[in-house]
Homo-oligomer: A and B are copies of this chain.
Amino acid sequence: MAHEHGELTVVGKPLPRRDALEKVTGKAQYPTDLELPGMLYAKILRSPYAHAKILSIDTSKAEAYPGVEAVITFKDIPDRRYGYGLNDQPMLARGKVRYVGEPVAAVAARDLDTAEEALELIDVKYEELPAVYDVEEAFKPDCPVVIHEDYANYELTFFPPAKMDVKRPNVANHFIIRRGDVEEGFKEADYVLEGKFRTPRQQHVPMEPHAAMARIENDGSVTVWASSQQPYLLINQISTLLDIPPSKIRVIVPYLGGGFGNKTQLKAEGICIALAQKTGKPVKCVFTREEVNCGTTSRGGTVSRIKMGVKKDGKVVAMECEILYSSGAYSGDAFVYSTRGPFQAAGTYKIPNLKLDSYLVYVNEPVSGAFRGFGNPELNWGIEIMMNRAADMIGMDRAKFRKINLLREGDEGGFGEIMHSLGTEECLEKTLRELSWEEELRKKEGIWRKGKGIAVGNKYSIAPSASYATVKVHVDGTIEVRISAIEIGQGSTTILAQIAAEYFGLPLEKIKMVVADTAVTPFDFGTVSSRVTYHVGNAILKACEGLKRQICELAARKMDVKPEDLDVKGRKIFSKHDPSKKIGIEDLFSPTLGMGHIGKYAEVGGELIQSATFFSKMGKMDPATNQLLNKHEKSCSFWIEIANGAIVDVDTETGEVKVRKFVNACDVGRAINPMLVEGQLDGGSVMGIGLGLWEEMIFKDGRIMNSNFIDYKLPRASDLPAVKDTVSIIVETPHREGPYGAKGVGEATMICAPAAIADAIHDATGVWITELPMTSEKLYYLLHKKA
């Protein structure tokens, strides 16, 4: 949506968060804080095996245990499966278990201790089956372990439908890009290089674990309080699993204590509902940290192979990628990210010949799923190392090499679409300046070496997707905005209020935000894919435009002028020709009999209320190539471009790496609230550095070995560069359809960090690490092997 906007007074300002006071005073309510009178506490019995047949479940002892009000197993619920594209996952294991941590039964008891004790009284008999954990093993056509014998009967709900003609027993999804002719490209190239890359499982580690509470209403409908980034998706999954019509499911999402993609799919909500239905009482379930780690999703590991053909003049002429995404035991939202992670290969460079195959592969591990970046950091990791290796090979400066190949405004991207709002070069330039790219670093000798590295990348935002907004004028001139965007810590409620405030020329406190209660707030695709500012912001603007029309029509009648001659600013409606001719918003409301000046209705229109949808369409693609049939259509809603830079010190004796400076530059279109955008960039840097250097979930026989924060190493402040050396740079290339030009930011900020650090390590030491995380152990091994 295009917006003519003069001087902005609210948008673009680093206004304080609306939720700041509530949060710092501890008053804010999170799902874990919720209480209802008479509520029961639920605990989940999880599989101890990575792959096993369930022979029998005996719940009688648990049911008889004092304080236990209900026990459920698969027998208590419909035989349904859920997913996000492919319905392959049961809510409670049925027939067999496929990972350590899979829910098998659940208990509702009067207190938490009783619920925990009762779990031990449930007698499940298993017959262990051979399992497969390695994604390359599982990918083999002749893999002896078949995790989903029934795959062919699962319901595929993905839109547009995925293409699945792969004859490998554990492949859950296959996505392709075919552009040009890579074989011809490689022939044309002066150099062809190949690489193989690995990325690990990473946990989101939201500060707040997952919680859910369910209550059955008197009409049989269900109210669920959920840790959900996608309340309307949750309605879908609950409805699918428990056979409850969507109109009878209400999802309320309070503040969330972080998500990063970990709170997209159904977690404990369905179990709470089934237990509430059985007991007639509200049921609450809060995951332990161990359950967050083994019983929710994480970033799945990948193995990728990349082949690149370059010419001496610096042009990349061909790229072939194969990436295996580890799905864990079910497809979860990995189904979609195995089709969207590959977008990384399509949105940064102008590569005429591109061939990509992305596979989602089942293994006997916990389910993987959405995680900031949604499959893109994994592919960026390999591509950017290849870019650096290629630059070295032709003896060209790595930055210059990238600039030759960057997609620019009007170019065709990897899906054949005309690209727009690409600030990659500006991001890169600003990053280089921060790194003093031209200056040689000292300390290229001795034990401690220094290096500089860069990486660029992109994050698409998903299409098709829709957001809906309702705006209402209150009699006191307050504008109420009803949306289902989730305040997950990113500040969306503040940013979206700024958009409405800017539109009406009101101070922020005159905007009332009503968020995320599906009984009140309208459809939204969800707080995913860095899409909220753009989609929900646009829906709000469209609704505001309609509301302004209503206001002007009503005012025109009172003022005896034409509606088109009027404008609204602050709480005044005035003639554009003669601004002294004006009335107040409150004058639109007439006193109702006996209700005085406040209990009023807006004349004629009743309430002044307006709704609107914003819908991002995905263009039709040729299924044989995934090239757009019309290059003026879009493969995604918008592209966010990013450049990262790192300066590292490496101890060549021990392999220890210290990031001394980190630069994160991102083209966000327009920063509606620069303070909050900087927060995203700072946070993304930390998360990206963590993925680069330390974070990895370690499994043995399908069992997580480091489910605590001593063994799972999250970056601490002392591990990171100083605050002054963690540089976040906002680049603004306004998007013609964005609200006030804004695109998104959240996910892009962690795409390139590992590759930039790898480049800096190589610069310091001359070795390439191709497996994440780049631990001291790995570097030590490589350095000493090299020596």
Residues of A bordering B, CB below 8 Å: 22, 27-29, 35-37, 84-85, 87, 155, 157-159, 218-219, 232-233, 235-237, 239-240, 245-248, 333, 335-336, 462-466, 468, 474-476, 478, 480, 512, 514, 519-520, 522-523, 525, 539, 590-599, 601, 603-607, 609, 611-613, 615, 618
Distance between Cα atoms of A155 and B333 in the complex (Å): 61
Distance between Cα atoms of A525 and B240 in the complex (Å): 40
Given A235-B598, A240-B598, is A606 in contact with B520 using a C-beta cutoff of 8 Å?
no
Identify A595's interface contact among B155, B157, B520, CB under 8 A: B157
Q: Which residues from chain B contact A607 at a C-beta distance below 8 Å?
A: 468, 522-523, 611, 613
Distance between Cα atoms of A592 and B476 in the complex (Å): 38
Distance between Cα atoms of A605 and B523 in the complex (Å): 11
Q: Which residues from chain B contact A594 at a C-beta distance below 8 Å?
A: 84-85, 157-159, 233, 333, 335-336
Distance between Cα atoms of A590 and B523 in the complex (Å): 13
22 sampled A-B residue pairs with Cβ under 8 A? A22-B219, A84-B595, A85-B594, A158-B593, A158-B594, A159-B591, A159-B595, A233-B599, A235-B599, A237-B599, A245-B476, A246-B598, A247-B475, A462-B593, A463-B593, A466-B601, A468-B606, A519-B520, A604-B615, A605-B613, A606-B613, A607-B611
Q: How far is the CB of A42 from chain B (nearest CB, A)?
A: 19
By beta carbon, the residue of chain B nearest A618 is B593
Q: Which residues from chain B contact A247 at a C-beta distance below 8 Å?
A: 474-476, 478, 480, 512
Contact B246 A475 (CB under 8 A): yes
- The residue in A87, A239, A599, A612 that gathers the most chain B C-beta atoms within 10 A of its C-beta is A599
Q: Which residues from chain B contact A232 at a C-beta distance below 8 Å?
A: 595, 599
Q: How far is the CB of A524 from chain B (nearest CB, A)?
A: 9
- The residue in A240, A519, A520, A593 that gathers the most chain B C-beta atoms within 10 A of its C-beta is A593
Q: How far is the CB of A508 from chain B (nearest CB, A)?
A: 12
Q: Which residues from chain B contact A593 at a C-beta distance below 8 Å?
A: 158-159, 336, 462-465, 525, 618
Contact A598 B239 (CB under 8 A): yes
Q: A237-B599, A240-B598 are in contact. List 19 more A-B contacts (CB 8 A).
A: A35-B37, A85-B594, A157-B596, A158-B594, A159-B593, A233-B594, A235-B598, A236-B596, A236-B598, A246-B598, A247-B474, A247-B480, A247-B512, A333-B594, A336-B593, A465-B593, A466-B592, A525-B592, A607-B613
Distance between Cα atoms of A601 and B512 in the complex (Å): 25
Report the 3 A-B pairs with minimum CB-CB distance, sorted nearest first: A606-B613, A157-B596, A236-B599
Distance between Cα atoms of A61 and B512 in the complex (Å): 41
Q: Which residues from chain B contact A475 at a C-beta distance below 8 Å?
A: 246-247
Q: How far is the CB of A570 from chain B (nearest CB, A)?
A: 16
Contact B606 A464 (CB under 8 A): no
Contact B596 A606 (CB under 8 A): no
Contact B598 A522 (CB under 8 A): no
Distance between Cα atoms of A592 and B612 in the complex (Å): 17
Distance between Cα atoms of A554 and B606 in the complex (Å): 26
Identify A246's interface contact among B336, B474, B520, CB under 8 A: B474
Q: How far is the CB of A82 from chain B (nearest CB, A)?
A: 9
By beta carbon, the residue of chain B nearest A34 is B37
Identify A601's interface contact among B22, B29, B590, B613, CB under 8 A: B613
Q: Which residues from chain B contact A218 at a C-beta distance below 8 Å?
A: 22, 27-29
Given A37-B37, A87-B596, A595-B157, is A613 in contact with B604 using a C-beta cutoff of 8 Å?
yes
Q: Which residues from chain B contact A27 at a C-beta distance below 8 Å?
A: 218
Distance between Cα atoms of A525 and B236 in the complex (Å): 36
Q: How far is the CB of A220 from chain B (nearest CB, A)?
A: 10
Contact A466 B606 (CB under 8 A): yes
Identify A606's interface contact among B37, B597, B611, CB under 8 A: B611
Distance between Cα atoms of A475 and B247 in the complex (Å): 8
Given A159-B591, A465-B593, A606-B612, is A601 in contact with B474 using a C-beta cutoff of 8 Å?
no
Given A235-B598, A239-B598, A468-B601, is A159 in contact with B609 using a C-beta cutoff of 8 Å?
no
Contact B611 A615 (CB under 8 A): no
Q: How far is the CB of A734 from chain B (nearest CB, A)?
A: 25
Distance between Cα atoms of A591 and B595 in the complex (Å): 45
Distance between Cα atoms of A737 and B547 in the complex (Å): 29
Q: Which residues from chain B contact A605 at a C-beta distance below 8 Å?
A: 613
Q: How far is the CB of A292 from chain B (nearest CB, A)?
A: 23
Q: Which residues from chain B contact A248 at a C-beta distance below 8 Å?
A: 512
Q: Which residues from chain B contact A519 at a C-beta distance below 8 Å?
A: 514, 520
Q: How far is the CB of A617 from chain B (nearest CB, A)?
A: 10
Contact A476 B606 (CB under 8 A): no
By beta carbon, the residue of chain B nearest A87 is B596
Q: How far is the CB of A28 from chain B (nearest CB, A)?
A: 7
Distance between Cα atoms of A476 and B221 in the complex (Å): 14
Distance between Cα atoms of A333 and B595 in the complex (Å): 10
Q: Which residues from chain B contact A592 at a C-beta distance below 8 Å?
A: 159, 464-466, 525
Identify A157's interface contact among B219, B239, B480, B591, CB under 8 A: B591
Contact B246 A606 (CB under 8 A): no
Q: Which residues from chain B contact A87 at a C-beta distance below 8 Å?
A: 596
Contact B523 A606 (CB under 8 A): yes
Distance between Cα atoms of A371 and B478 in the complex (Å): 35
Q: Which residues from chain B contact A520 at a C-beta distance below 8 Å?
A: 519-520
Contact A606 B522 (CB under 8 A): yes
Distance between Cα atoms of A604 and B523 in the complex (Å): 13
By beta carbon, the residue of chain B nearest A38 is B35
By beta carbon, the residue of chain B nearest A596 is B157
Q: Which residues from chain B contact A603 at a C-beta distance below 8 Å?
A: 615
Contact A597 B219 (CB under 8 A): no
Q: How far is the CB of A57 from chain B (nearest CB, A)?
A: 29
Q: Which residues from chain B contact A28 at a C-beta distance below 8 Å?
A: 218
Q: Which residues from chain B contact A246 at a C-beta distance below 8 Å?
A: 474-476, 598-599
Q: Which residues from chain B contact A606 at a C-beta distance below 8 Å?
A: 466, 468, 522-523, 539, 611-613, 615
By beta carbon, the residue of chain B nearest A529 is B593
Q: How far is the CB of A242 from chain B (nearest CB, A)?
A: 12
